[in-house]
Amino acid sequence: MWTSGRMSNAKNLLGLGISLYFWGLMDLTTTVLSGSARPLTEGQEDNLSDKLHQRMKRSWVWNQFFVLEEYTGTDPLYVGKLHSDMDRGDGSIKYILSGEGAGIVFTIDDTTGDIHAIQRLDREERSQYTLRAQALDRRTGRPMEPESEFIIKIQDINDNEPKFLDGPYVASVPEMSPVGTSVIQVTATDADDPTYGNSARVVYSILQGQPYFSVDSRTGLIRTALMNMDREAKEYYEVIIQAKDMGGQLGGLAGTTTVNISLSDVNDNPPRFPQKHYQMSVLESAPVSSTVGRVVAKDLDEGVNAEMKYSLVDGDGLDVFDINTDPNYQVGIITVRKPLSFESKKSYTLKVEGANPHLEMRFLNLGPFRDTTTVHISVEDVDEPPVFEPSFYFVEVPEDVDIGTTIQIISAKDPDVTNNSIRYSIDRSSDPGRFFYVDITSGALMTARPLDREDVSWHNITVLAVELNNPSQVGSVSVTVKVLDVNDNAPEFARFYEAFVCENAKAGQLIQTVSAIDRDDPQEGQHFYYSLAPEAANNPNFTLRDNQDNTAWILTRRSGFRQHEQNTFYLPILISDNGRPVLSSTGTLTVHVCSCDDDGMVMSCNAEAYVLPVSLSRGALIAILACIFVLLVLVLLILSMRRQRKQPYIIDEEENIHENIVRYDDEGGGEEDTEAFDIAAMWNPREAQLVVKNRQDMLPEIESLSRYVPQACVMDNNVHNYVLAKLYEADMDLWAPPFDSLQTYMFEGNGSVAESLSSLQSVTTDSDQSYDYLTDWGPRFKKLAEMYGATDSSGALW
């Protein structure tokens, strides 16, 4: 039978402790393997009975060994001894060790059966090894005992300190939390055997962080230990926690970790404005929604607890200014709500409130969580452009209005205190046709060209107002001109009408329906009246019926039309409208007489069909065209040969001249030069003659514009209307130069008490002025003295 043992000596007792042995008795028919008894089979019993003829006493009983970890000696560590009862000490038995760690961690003396550990053992890496032992006959190698299994267990020693596997820790707790508020739980792990002694029993303690925090020694839960901890005073705390094994006793191993604890913010600080008065200024020209200034209320809290809501609670500018909150910087932005006017109001006072929108009920006693400040806003004066009153004009004008008629007075004023003078003009991009003109000083809007509703029914022009002292200040206003309709267009056929009548047509047969259009647009609507023209009132062939719906029927008055007698009739139709005055026009309906079949279908409308021969064939037409083409080619060839015959073959050297001097004698126009333009037109337009003498030798490039002026404009005593009419005539003159030119008009006007001051016609008036002084001027003025000198007693000049 197997026996095991472990010899005790002083060295083993001092270095390794006490080994355990298990003694007992065991029957020969039973062996102990791995701590359990298994009966032998019948074959094993017979084998043993053959070898052993007598009963043997019970020997050692074993199943496991114990050895301490972390042996630091230089010699192999003795674990135990294996021994078989068949071993007589003569070396005939050979012990073999197999299993986990055999030959690597553990070795056995094959003669004595001593087992040693040759490597350092660590229970935290492996707590036990399972091995198998066998005794063999050294000579034959035959097993002397059945193979037995046993266990070597590693006994723990306190060689591992507690460790915080999740450290360092980060935690947060709200500021002003009550004492005992849980913050975080830390956990330390000890790798030693918790079932053997106190090596793995951990106790927690706080090394740094008092008196603000505490830790539960058993669970490692960290709690607040001080009340009213203020984040605004101190926000971050570094707490060091220690975990010690052996129940915290002396000699135990310890480990530490760091817990970084921050106080999270709560709304425990009300907002406050750093200044109670703000002074701001804004230009009166600042547009709506522009920024005036900013105010800010300080809040020691952060995040959502520091959010602000600004509002205007009082002041005389509540309807003029507005305030918005910038969510990024928590500032109040004051903006312009309505247009400002320095002339109306120069300053405003506002009361601004800043408040926290998110409150906590348990801190309301620290409030109120709102504050106010006063803002003074000064409006600064700027040079503003002229302002029109009203800001939009709508004018209705009939299309037959005369040129130069004032249709509207445009009024603008300088809103500044200086009240500068205003000059008016029209933005020509809004009136490219130059239909209107505005007086530069009075703002009177007048027509400069005839208006035609049928061409342009609406005009949208822009009138500009400029300060005289500061032309950069320009105001503008829109003027919408609606051209009212005047009955100035006669109705006419909607299209060219051409009718056909059959030779076998009967009297009263409808041959055509006509309608008319009118470019005018009367308010009461269009209504046309149709009748035959006076010269066709008694037409024996056709008659007209007015349908009273702006259409008319053309009917045959007789039957028996003959195409060879007359194949085309022209019927004049008078069309009148319902306008005031009534306008009418005459349209002509062309009626062709055609031959038709019995069903009234037109077969032919050509009167020559009865006398013309049969149409030529296509081949004949091609032959005729080819002959004409050949004749044309021959004519061109003859002409080209004649031209070449006239030209000489040798070029005369005298004709090869690069520069020619051309001399000519041309007498002047004489009196025609002086009479080319009528000077009387420059004296007074009322005396301008409609017939202007033209030069006989050349056509004038620019003729006097006065003869184009209508008599109504010439006779008008308004100088301005006269100039506008002249301008219109110059614009419409096709012979005028295609560039701007200066037109000078010597128009004196009428109604002067001094009458005309011109001396051009003074020769026809009686005058008492004496020209006797001309005789004293010498021979050079003798001729003038004879013309204008004194008269004799008989009245004759001398």
Query: What strands lie across the sheet with 474-484, from one edge to the other?
Result: 392-398, 474-484, 458-467, 422-426
- Region for 161 from its dihedrals, namely left if φ exceeds 0, alpha if ψ lies in -120 to 50, beta otherwise: beta
Extract the tokens encoding 726. 């002249």
The Cα 728–Cα 722 span in angstroms is 10
Position 6 confidence tier, pLDDT thresholds 50, 70, 90 = very low
| DSSP assignments along 589-658, one per residue | EEEEEEEE-TT--EEE--GGGGTS-PPPPHHHHHHHHHHHHHHHHHHHHHHHHHHHHHS-SS--GGG--S
Q: Cα torsion at 282, 286, 291, 295 (round to 10°)?
A: 20
CATH topology of domain 163-264: Immunoglobulin-like (2.60.40)
The Cα 13–Cα 11 span in angstroms is 5
The pLDDT of 134-150, averaged and rounded, is 87
In 3D space, the residue among 156, 191, 160 whose CA is nearest the CA of residue 68 turns out to be: 156
Q: Where in the chain is the domain with CATH 2.60.40.60?
A: 64-155, 163-264, 277-380, 387-484, 492-604
Instruction: Count CB-CB contacts under 10 A for residue 548.
Output: 11
Higher pLDDT pick, 778 / 692: 778
Given the candidates 2.60.40.10, 3.40.50.300, 3.60.60.10, 2.60.40.60, the CATH classification of the domain at 64-155 is: 2.60.40.60
Q: What is the pLDDT of residue 795?
A: 42
Q: What is the pLDDT of residue 46?
A: 47
Do the Cβ atoms of 557 and 571 come closer than 8 Å?
A: no
The Cα 528–Cα 164 span in angstroms is 110
The pLDDT of 52-63, averaged and rounded, is 44
Which stretches of 284-330 are assigned E, i.e. beta strand?
291-295, 309-315, 321-326
Q: What is the CA radius of gyration of the chain?
A: 66
Given the candidates 2.40.420.20, 1.10.150.120, 2.60.120.620, 2.60.40.60, the CATH classification of the domain at 277-380 is: 2.60.40.60
Helix (H, G, I), strand (E, B) or coil at 776: helix
Instruction: Count CB-CB contacts under 10 A for residue 653.
Output: 7
Q: The dihedral of CA 687, 690, 694, 700: what is its sign?
A: positive
Q: What is the mean pLDDT of the chain?
A: 78
Give whichever of 107-121, 155-169, 245-259, 454-468 has the largest mean pLDDT: 454-468
The model's pLDDT over 622-678, given as tens digits with 9 standing for 90+, comes to 889 999 999 999 998 888 888 776 555 444 444 444 445 555 555 555 554 454 445
The neighbouring-strand residues paired with 314 are: 351
Tell me which CATH code domain 492-604 carries. Answer: 2.60.40.60
Phi/psi of residue 634, nearest 5 degrees: -65, -40
The Cα 565–Cα 584 span in angstroms is 33
CATH topology of domain 387-484: Immunoglobulin-like (2.60.40)
The model's pLDDT over 690-738, given as tens digits with 9 standing for 90+, comes to 444 444 444 444 344 344 344 433 444 457 777 777 777 777 777 766 6
Instruction: Count CB-CB contacts under 10 A for residue 748.
Output: 14
The pLDDT of 169-188, averaged and rounded, is 93
Whole-structure pTM value: 0.43
Extract the tokens encoding 184. 């975080």
Extract the tokens encoding 507. 């009297």
The neighbouring-strand residues paired with 376 are: 279, 349
The Cα 134–Cα 53 span in angstroms is 23
**Would you give the distance in Å from CA 271 to the centre of its chain?**
38
The model's pLDDT over 584-633, given as tens digits with 9 standing for 90+, comes to 999 999 999 998 887 778 787 875 444 444 455 677 888 899 999 999 99
